Amino acid sequence: MPDHHATPLKFLAPGWFAIVMGWSGLSLAWYRATPLMGDWAGAASMVAAGFAALVFALLLGASVVRWRRYPQALAEDLRHPVRHAFVAAVPISLILLATAGVALTGPGPVLLAVWLVASLLQLGVTVWALGRWLRDKPAGGVAWPAITPVLFIPVVGNVLVPLAGVPLGLPNWSAAQFGIGLLFWPVVLTLLAVRIGVQGLWPQRLLPTTFITVAPPAVVGLSSLQLGAPVLLAWLAWGCALFFLLWSATVLRRMLSQPFGVPFWGVSFPLAAFAALSLRLADNRVYELAALALLALATLVILTLSLATLKGAALGRTAGARTGCRADPCRGRGHAGSAKLKLPSE
């Protein structure tokens, strides 16, 4: 039965932290544009990082209140076969904010503490999320309908660690956690390929998450350079990211036919990460112009997503959005009182 007395806060699931990921990633991309565009690119990076930090603080405070008022709603998110992976968006947001802080202001004890907490939380979330694979299906184990690109989120968090970890003076731990992400990226990719063959593509409402496939190779390229890997290895990762961007673009028309929802934010960070890697690798005028075009695209997409989210809030939709729904209502209309801005489930 729908809960007609529930406030919008009840439906504030961890997937909303994808907004922080998008803006933090955009901050890092603009920072990479500083050698080409000068100080105002650095200023844009700082503005994006500040906005990301503000959104993170608001979401974190609201999430704590939600946990206290609606513990069953949080428990439902943690049990859900798809939504549980979005929990990793919280420590990833912290890692990205620490990375932006290190890039813009340099290493410091506060950023080191934030980075340490975030990296350990990310490791814990990865073990917890992938630990579901070892359960029987009746006990919440993995099933083919639950295999979606959302599973990449815990993987991406681990390969992000070196971006701030190396300048903070912890390259060994950064490399170790990077290795975890590097191990599970092809594993999840293989599972997705098998799922498509066995179960078919993920539902239409989850099509925006297809773009998450761009993020692992893009971040692997950035982090491998931070760890001192050859530039050719980063170009290899760039090529993989380019393929997944073009591959994901084949669902764009079907994706845009869906009502706007939080899953659309799954496009934001991958685009920003790919733009950042492109700017990092650009070594001639042609590549520089292409990288700047990607930066412009990522900026336009994230601004558009932000405006759409604010429009939903102004119309009273964002606040009342459900972050998931039961099987039958998900196929058609949602529960009474639900809104267009949703984080759908499998």
The confidence score (pLDDT) of residue 333 equals 34
* CA dist., res. 18 & res. 196, Å (int): 25
Q: How far apart are the first and last CA of the chain?
A: 19
Which residue in 21, 13, 18, 15 sits closest to 63, CA to CA?
13
Token pair 């544009």 in the structure block, residue: 33
How far, in Å, CA of 240 to CA of 277, rounded? Answer: 12
Residue 163: closest CA among 155, 171, 152: 171
CA atoms in the 13 A half-sphere facing the CB of 233: 12
pLDDT above 70 as % of the chain: 89
Tell me the three state secondary structure of residue 81: coil
Phi then psi for 13, rounded to 5 degrees?
Answer: -80, 165
153 within 8 A of 86, measured Cβ to Cβ:
yes
| CATH class assigned to 9-313 | mainly alpha
Q: Are the C-beta atoms of residues 237 and 277 closer than 8 Å to each other?
A: yes
- pLDDT tens per residue, range 262-286: 899 999 999 999 999 999 999 999 9
How would you class 128 by CB atoms within 10 Å of its CB: exposed for 0-12, middle for 13-18, buried for 19 or more? middle
CB neighbours of residue 306 within 10 Å: 17
CA distances from 99 to 70, 95, 217 (A): 32, 6, 18
Instruction: Note the pLDDT of residue 146.
Output: 86
* Amino acid 34: pLDDT: 96
Within 10 angstroms of residue 140's Cβ, the number of other Cβ atoms is 15
Whats the size of the chain, residue-wise?
346
Question: Cβ contacts of residue 74 below 8 Å, gap of 6+?
Answer: 66, 67
Q: Which stretches within the chain are classed as H helix? A: 18-32, 34-37, 39-69, 71-79, 89-105, 109-131, 152-160, 162-165, 171-198, 215-226, 231-249, 252-256, 268-281, 285-314, 327-331
Place of tokens 């393929």: 243
Listed as ranges, residues in the chain with pLDDT below 70 are: 1-6, 316-346
